[in-house]
Structure 1
Amino acid sequence: MPGTEAARGALRRAPVQRRSTERLARILDACARELDEGGYERLSTRAVAARAGVPIGSVYRFFSDKRAMTDALAHRNLDEFLDRTAARLAEPGVGADWRAAVDVLVEEYTAMKRTAPGFALVDFGVPGETNQDLADRLPALLGDRLPVDPADPRLRLALVIAVEAADAALQLAFRTSQTGDSRVIAEAKELVRAYLGTVLE
């Protein structure tokens, strides 16, 4: 299941058997659907258990509360996003520099925003939190596309700022249009490329 490894940080108990792994996936799927329908404030472990078709004890076996459950969903989302992006970057014809990677990152994010259950509200973190996990994992994803030392602290700061700026711009894109305003999305790409250029060129 995509995201199982990262999600374990939010789990009380990691699944060992296939049946437990499948049950955990059903719980997170149900959590995502509940978020789409009622938002974070109305989310409850009882409603998630009912939708997933599992006893409430099964939810508490994995999660202490709805915050931990949502955090695990966010980790799963991040893993899926990085997997999708890595697959796109490996496709023939995709540019080999960091600018092409920026475009792919934005495109995969907007694709998940449009289609992935729960992603519109909880992409990579509980609402209102930062995108530190994504910024931390970008150097490994981008690899040789980065023309600077991945350990350079300036790169770390630049990636944090770029991710936060892109997040704000893309939130605006989906605030003005349910499917994402294409003009704002295009400007978000330009914004991130221009800013990162001050560090990567």
Structure 2
Amino acid sequence: MDPVPQPDPPRPAARHPLRRTPVQQRSTERLARILDACAELLDESGYEQLSTRAVAVRAGVPIGSVYRFFGNKRAMAAALAHRNLDRYAERVGARLTAAPRPDAYRAIDSVLDEYIAMKRTVPGFALVDFGVPAPAAGEGVDDDPNHLVADRLCGLLATHLDRPADDVLRRKVLVGVEAADALLQLAFRTSPTGDPALVAETRALLYAYLAPSLSA
């Protein structure tokens, strides 16, 4: 008798890098300015040169305001990655909603095309998309960004394609995210805007691997 497949173990909830969550509009706007400044400086000088003081100067806020939200620059960059993921999920959801009759291939296009669009246009996204570069000594370890992305995409795809977000789909989406991440990193190392041939290969791989599961 074949063994009964066991469900994947539940993953712990993602940790949020904010020391405190803003409750007033003024604090929310200040946090947004800090993250915007962080993104700009990442594009200009990279993660290694990023500092909380430089972000405070660029954002036009006291350094204490930065430390009110973040313990160090890694937590600040991680918060930017969380914001990127929230916006990515919103934009993918909007693309799926706008599709006249979403099917597996249109859904894959929405997921891939929105990522490429953000990679090309969103400040700081080229370096910190959904996760922060490998930690230096003492900086701590983050949640696995590809797991976070896969969890969000699994829910979106299941909802819009009217199929259960079961363990099989979660596993398939995670494998698709890992494979696409590796190929798109290669595409954007090859060309600053993403090598078209490698992007096409990524799309073909996702069509072949993921579409049958999304259509089931």
Q: How does the TM-score come out when normalised to structure 1?
A: 0.89
2:189 aligned residue = 175
1:143 aligned residue = 158
Contact 1:132/1:160 (<8 A) preserved = yes
Runs (4+) off by over 4 Å: 144-148
Contact 1:89/1:101 (<8 A) preserved = yes
Q: 1:146 Cα shift? A: 4.5
The match for 1:163 among 177, 183, 186 is 177
The match for 2:148 among 125, 133, 136 is 133
* Residue 120 (structure 1) aligned with residue 126 (structure 2): yes
Of 15-24 and 97-106, deviating more is 97-106
- The residue type paired with residue 42 of structure 1 is Q
Q: 1:127 Cα shift? A: 2.2
* Residue 11 (structure 1) aligned with residue 25 (structure 2): no
The match for 1:58 among 62, 65, 71 is 65
2:45 aligned residue = 38
Aligned residues: 193
How far apart in 2 are the matches of 1:40 and 1:8?
21
RMSD: 1.9
Alignment deviations for residues 133-168 of structure 1 (CA, whole Å, 9 cap, x no partner): 1101112211345575312x2222211111011111
Q: 1:130 Cα shift? A: 3.9
Q: 1:92 Cα shift? A: 4.3
83 and 147 in structure 1: CA distance in 2 versus 1, 3 angstrom threshold: closer
145 and 19 in structure 1: CA distance in 2 versus 1, 3 angstrom threshold: closer
**Structure with greater helix percent:** 1
Unpaired segments ≥5 residues, structure 1: 1-6
Q: 1:117 Cα shift? A: 0.2
Of 139-148 and 60-69, deviating more is 139-148
SS, match of residue 131 in structure 1: helix
117 and 98 in structure 1: CA distance in 2 versus 1, 3 angstrom threshold: same
Contact 1:98/1:145 (<8 A) preserved = no
The match for 2:27 among 20, 41, 64 is 20
Unpaired segments ≥5 residues, structure 2: 1-13, 135-143
1:3 aligned residue = none
How far apart in 2 are the matches of 1:23 and 1:130?
25
How far apart in 2 are the matches of 1:186 and 1:19?
44
184 and 56 in structure 1: CA distance in 2 versus 1, 3 angstrom threshold: same
How far apart in 1 are the matches of 2:85 and 2:21?
18
Give aligned-pair identity as a percent.
62
Alignment deviations for residues 111-141 of structure 1 (CA, whole Å, 9 cap, x no partner): 0001000000000111255411110111221
